[in-house]
Amino acid sequence: MERQPLLHDLLVATMAPSQAWSGPDGQIRPGGAQGYFYGDLRTLSRAVLTVDGEEPETIAGGPAGPGAVEVLGLLRGVDEDGADPTVQLRRLRRVDPGQVHEDLEVTAATREPVTLTLRLEVACDLAAVEAVKQGRATCELPGAVAAHGGSVRWSGPDGTSVTLTAPGARITADDPARPRLEWDVVVRPGATTAVGWGVTVTAAATTVGPPVATAPEWSVPAVAADDRRLAALLDQALADLTTLRMTADFAPGDTFLAAGAPWFFTLFGRDSIWAARMLLPLGTELAAGTLRVLAARQGTVADPETAEQPGKILHEVRAQPLDLGGEGRVLPPVYYGTVDATPLWVCLLHDAWRWGMPAEQVRALLPAMERALDWMTDHGDADGDGFLEYIDTTGRGLANQGWKDSGDSVQWRDGSLATGPIALCEVQAYAHEAALGGAALLEAFGRPGADRWRSWAADLAARFRRSFWVADDDGGYPAIALDADKRPVDTLTSNIGHLLGTGLLDPDEERQVARRLGAPDMSSGYGLRTMSTTSGGYWPLRYHGGAVWAHDTAITVAGLARSGHTDVAAALVDGLLAAGDATGYRLPELYSGAARGSVPTLVPYPAACRPQAWSAAAAVAVLSATLGLDPDVPGGTLRVTPVAPSPVGAVRVSGLRLDGRPLAVEVDARGAVVGVDAGGAVRVDAGAGGAAAATVGAVPAPPGTAGPAAT
């Protein structure tokens, strides 16, 4: 039976566009998601190590820095007599763009030298990532062994080549599909004997590749908080994000973040936009690159096969068509089937401008912004009712085209599926925010249309109020969507958290939404469930019907903080930090919605991707929301209104960026601003949830950091 492989207990190392997945013992075995991948192709499907005929007994393993993992194993088959293990193998795997290298280091505490043979059996299947994801059977390819035994090479029909080199090894191929590498080594007591091997890939067709620069486009802040989980979450998140940096062949100078490993290791419109938006407190360079690369493929024609429309921002890019499996669903290499990426692109441009993206860079993107705004009324609102909606007209694309894009994500309260066209509630909020942000940009840069978009946003809010609100015994809330007959689909979902702080709702409506999100049926203790436990379709391990997504919770936290509902925001922050603590601070794509305290620990969603760009970036969004950062560089101000009391206790942060300059903020446990140093870039308007006013000036650097927070 074909089954999607599970990922939750695998070791992963990424350095875009390469990634390596193995079992927790470091072995790469066939039949699942394990292997070395380059882009959308698995380039090594087997790498099983034995020592004198036995597999090492693993005692520890985990990340070893960006792009690396390490596994320690015992070699008790060659031990001396006694209970203590005396021979150990260290397996260190490092991933670089187009390459994976592995060092095998053996150490011994024996009385005499140990002679042993390391054998590695390898194979390559050149399987497409979608075939691996769907659990399809693959075929190991014969490899050509070099005449002098120094390498093995596999070739694909498209010209892709995979070359394995292993200095000092004997390479034999009795079975051409499973070459063997062997090293005979002598390990002396107290010394280390090391051998190594590696794989290099030359791909015939690529759409995405590594970034031009090695350094990331963002600053790395120093954080000291009473709750030490915050700094740990940020450190791991930023390390993971450095391994997801990519460029596209149609905009090679601009860096964006791949959505996530292993299945979404490419450009995704909404994912890359949200991740860049969350990272704005660390600089605007990533946002600028993301905006430009997406503008380079902004839609120009109407094409039902690709879902392209003039002004529309794409959904995803691949080197080849993506076979989704079953019923002939195949996505073209450049696919535009998303209803939210276009307004979110405008929101990112507006927010980046407010964080200090240089005016000339903003100005260059204004024509693309105007086309994106026009798409909302000319094409996004297909039936002229004033709402953005979607439907797949071909039967071969995505049935649902919001961020919850699984086939069963839009349900009625009884669990039955809604029929399209679908108008999602959060998409109306994005459109409202985009219209107001676009109006501000048009006005600031002396372009026409600002009044039109402000009026359109006001009308949208009024229409939304009339059409989306429903009620149950616990009160009112916005429906997840309108269906084909314009009926409000009455399931209570996390989608409504995305409405907060966008201006779509009035203060009383935001209060009702905050109350519903903070209730036990929505807040799991590890974050926000995607669907209420009172819904007929709820299940804690349902992808969009009960599981928790970190980015979804972080977006809601930001909206709650902006709208003043800090108690609910603080509870969700604590939930994300608890989830981080339970996952080694690498937040996965999603995890179970089982209530904290009802299970021994956080329950993984076993097929969740990691690292995931917007899950990692959620750590920065939580920090920014906790501090209450609201910049307006064009207006010359920075407002700082922290969550009060602070959900992480007293916190000091240096190394943020505003208008290209260092920004440091210190907040006490009450949520009162102690100090802000913006380097003179702006006037600081500092309050703290009703607590004391700020002292504007130098902020001490967190302990262990070099130099002052700012000058």
Pairing of strands 18-22, 11-15: antiparallel
Average pLDDT over every residue of 496-502: 98
At residue 560's C-alpha, the angle toward residues 488 and 592, to 5°, is 70
- Give residue 691's pLDDT band: very low, low, confident or very high (50, 70, 90): very low
At residue 591's C-alpha, the angle toward residues 515 and 609, to 5°, is 130
Q: Which of 626, 644, 701, 602 is nearest to 8 (CA)?
A: 602
Pairing of strands 192-202, 161-165: antiparallel
The pLDDT score that the predictor gives to residue 326 is 65
Encode pLDDT of 207-249 as tens digits: 999 999 999 999 999 999 999 999 999 999 999 999 999 999 9
At residue 99's C-alpha, the angle toward residues 98 and 105, to 5°, is 170
Q: How many CB atoms lie within 10 A of CB 478?
A: 27
This prediction has a pTM of 0.95
- Give residue 438's pLDDT band: very low, low, confident or very high (50, 70, 90): very high
Residues across the chain = 711
Encode pLDDT of 273-283 as tens digits: 999 999 999 99
Domains of the chain, earliest start first = 11-202 (2.70.98.40), 209-505 (1.50.10.10), 631-696 (no CATH)
Encode pLDDT of 378-400 as tens digits: 999 989 999 999 999 998 999 99
Question: CA dist 131 to 41, 143, 233, 416, 433, Å?
Answer: 10, 21, 33, 30, 39
Q: In sequence order, which residues have a C-beta less than 8 Å from that of residue 252 and are 6 or more positions away?
A: 209, 212
Question: CA dist 624 to 17, 171, 254, 665, Å?
Answer: 29, 54, 25, 10
Average pLDDT over every residue of 35-50: 96
The pLDDT score that the predictor gives to residue 157 is 86
The pLDDT score that the predictor gives to residue 146 is 81
Average pLDDT over every residue of 135-153: 87
Q: For the chain, what percent of residues have pLDDT higher than 90?
A: 90
